[in-house]
Structure 1
Amino acid sequence: MAITDRQTATLALAHALSAAERGLPVFPLSATKLPALRSPHHGDVPPVRCRGECGLPGHGVHDATTDPSAVRALFAVAPRATGYGIACGRPPHRLIGIDLDIDTTHGNDSVAALRHLALEHLFTIPATVTVLTPSGGRHLWLTGPPGVTVPNSAGRLAPGIDVRGAGGYLVGPGSVTAHGRYLLATGTAHLAPAPCPSALLHLLRPPPRPHHPTSRNSPARQGQGLVRFVRAAHEGQRNTRLFWAACRAYEHGFGDALADALTDAAVSTGLSAQEARAAIASAARLTTPRRTA
């Protein structure tokens, strides 16, 4: 099925405009769930760390806007867009996305894991906007309070539970991807995103940085463990292990320092250096909050 036809692109824009009207910053996505616009700095040497300051489109989540005219302009230069992303962490909603993946291979039940966390930490999972993903997972939309930054994370709460916070984005309902369509769950379309329970918000906030770099859990020691974890990957695990290890490194503040070692470890398992660097860059984007002026 061709999913880049004019009707799909028109529907994607319509859904994006509807979300923008509700105060949700949006930007166009391709069928791969990645930003539909190529960076204007692609190929620049050294890499330019621009987050939209240049004024040109093509900065992914940093292009996100609630201005209808700006939304139309973004989609006009992204004719292959089949969906839209919703930037998390931005006012007025300060959206937090709880991404519950389905992993039948390893038997991880992320929904049960979230319920267990709720029982353990004495909070109730509120009725809120819920988006069903093509893989059978779901996204729960919650809102955060002013002055609180929730970082992106992958599997830190529990296996199969990813968090989309500041600098991250959720695929909006109505988007079409190579694997199917994102849909609002029955009975949630009329709901507003519910406030994040305070106990869950505490779990979502970043852990304190260690104060003793020479301790057993020092960045250097943790980094060696992550490199060994990547080096031990077998075929079929290489990208997953590398991405997981890079996320952990960036969450603990030494991702850039470990990037070369992780790349070398991934190359030793059979990945190309280009594939390894791309996976590490994705981990950096996912776990690094957007800087504000």
Structure 2
Amino acid sequence: MPIPPDIENVAMLGWHVYPMNNRTKAGCFKGAHAAASCDLDIIERWCREYPGCNWRVVMGPSRLFALDVDRAGQTHRADGFAALRGLVAKHGPLPPRPMTRTGGSGGAVLFFQHNGEELRGASGCPAPGLDPHRNGQAIVIPPSRHPVTGGAYTWRRECAPWEVAPPPIPDWLAHMLRPPPEPERDYRRNPFYVTNDRAFQVLMKAVHEVETAPSGGSNDTLNKQSYRIGRWCGAGVLDPSEARESLLVAARARGIPFREARDTIRSGLRGGMRNPHRERTA
């Protein structure tokens, strides 16, 4: 199978993509998220191995920030378009940017450059119906189809990334997404330390495990992975809010109800933080 033109085009722009199961939203193979690539030879092999798959782009290595705008309806309760119009009316227009039409509710995803700004990624931030994606988070892109509705993800007219480059995040939006100052931590309480790179890989693996959890065991998997990540938070190398947001995104992709996922993650993280991970590194 040849590489879909949309995927070839974004890969040539340096967007790191991976193949996604077109029925479950999970990666087509274990570790797909961490293996995201812009190498055309690798992507061509994936096309042969997983014909007809959907695709996601990972924000961090692609230097992207995406704002998912929900359309109120059967799949979303909040009206992200109304929320965004209100913000634009108050703070000023958005610059031209790549933008998709999503295949589920018919919402939109807006893409911007991410140059290392500290940004929150909680669903509903900066307003209900708006979901930011950055760092290790990923989002579905054309030519994928929604696994439930069958609707196609498409680039809005003259808004493909090879037609208009992702602009910098508007200052007002970056300001609204800026995380609160982190509380000071007393690292003397934990003489052991771990590397941030290792902790990030553990978090990405936990996200994958939750997204691909077997039917009937998704909440158990979420609890187990939340506890595991909580131990790294307790060690002081993962931010609890960052971990919570990433796990919530994974739970949402797996279809776990929000309230159930929120309570499970909260309990698991708390339990893990009471038993911090300890690992000596050279």
TM-score scaled by structure 1? 0.59
Pair 1:19-2:32 in alignment:
no
**Aligned residue among 6, 10, 19 for 1:28:** 19
How far, CA to CA, are the matches of 2:146 and 2:42 in structure 1? Answer: 23
Tell me the equivalent position of 1:132: 101
Write the letter of the residue equivalent to 2:59: C
Tell me the equivalent position of 1:256: 269
Compute the displacement of 1:244 (Å).
Answer: 4.8
* Aligned residues of 1:149 and 1:166 also touching (Cα < 8 A): no
CA-to-partner distance for each residue in 1:60-99, whole Å, 9 max, x for gaps?
A: 32111111112122333334x52211111224xx111100
When residues 74 and 107 of structure 1 are mapped into structure 2, their CA distance, relative to the original with a 3 A threshold, is closer
Pair 1:207-2:180 in alignment:
yes
When residues 246 and 19 of structure 1 are mapped into structure 2, their CA distance, relative to the original with a 3 A threshold, is farther
When residues 142 and 211 of structure 1 are mapped into structure 2, their CA distance, relative to the original with a 3 A threshold, is same
Tell me the equivalent position of 2:86: 116
* Alignment RMSD: 3.5
When residues 191 and 244 of structure 1 are mapped into structure 2, their CA distance, relative to the original with a 3 A threshold, is farther
Pair 1:177-2:195 in alignment:
no
When residues 86 and 246 of structure 1 are mapped into structure 2, their CA distance, relative to the original with a 3 A threshold, is farther
Partner SS state of residue 142, structure 1 = strand
* Aligned residues of 1:83 and 1:174 also touching (Cα < 8 A): yes
Partner SS state of residue 139, structure 1 = strand
Pair 1:239-2:230 in alignment:
no
How far, CA to CA, are the matches of 1:31 and 1:256 in structure 2? Answer: 31
Work out the number of aligned pairs and report it: 203
CA-to-partner distance for each residue in 1:120-150, whole Å, 9 max, x for gaps?
A: 4x343222111001221110111122x3243
When residues 243 and 32 of structure 1 are mapped into structure 2, their CA distance, relative to the original with a 3 A threshold, is farther
Tell me the equivalent position of 2:123: 154
Pair 1:198-2:216 in alignment:
no
Write the letter of the residue equivalent to 1:256: L
CA-to-partner distance for each residue in 1:178-199, whole Å, 9 max, x for gaps?
A: 2221011123232221211122
How far, CA to CA, are the matches of 1:258 and 1:99 in structure 2? Answer: 32
When residues 108 and 37 of structure 1 are mapped into structure 2, their CA distance, relative to the original with a 3 A threshold, is closer
Partner SS state of residue 257, structure 2 = helix
Pair 1:103-2:76 in alignment:
no
Compute the displacement of 1:255 (Å).
Answer: 5.9
When residues 255 and 151 of structure 1 are mapped into structure 2, their CA distance, relative to the original with a 3 A threshold, is farther
- 1:30-69 counterparts in 2 under 5 A? 30-32=21-23, 34-39=25-30, 59-69=31-41
* Aligned residues of 2:71 and 2:79 also touching (Cα < 8 A): yes
* Aligned residues of 2:11 and 2:39 also touching (Cα < 8 A): yes
**Aligned residue among 79, 90, 105 for 2:61:** 90
* Aligned residues of 1:29 and 1:84 also touching (Cα < 8 A): yes
How far, CA to CA, are the matches of 2:141 and 2:35 in structure 1? Answer: 15
Write the letter of the residue equivalent to 1:257: R
Tell me the equivalent position of 2:204: none
CA-to-partner distance for each residue in 1:18-65, whole Å, 9 max, x for gaps?
A: 2101211111112136243232xxxxxxxxxxxxxxxxxxx1321111
How far, CA to CA, are the matches of 2:93 and 2:271 in structure 1? Answer: 38
Write the letter of the residue equivalent to 2:102: T
Q: Give 1 or 2: higher strand fraction.
A: 1
Identity rate, percent: 26
Write the letter of the residue equivalent to 2:154: L
* Aligned residues of 1:154 and 1:244 also touching (Cα < 8 A): no
Write the letter of the residue equivalent to 2:23: T
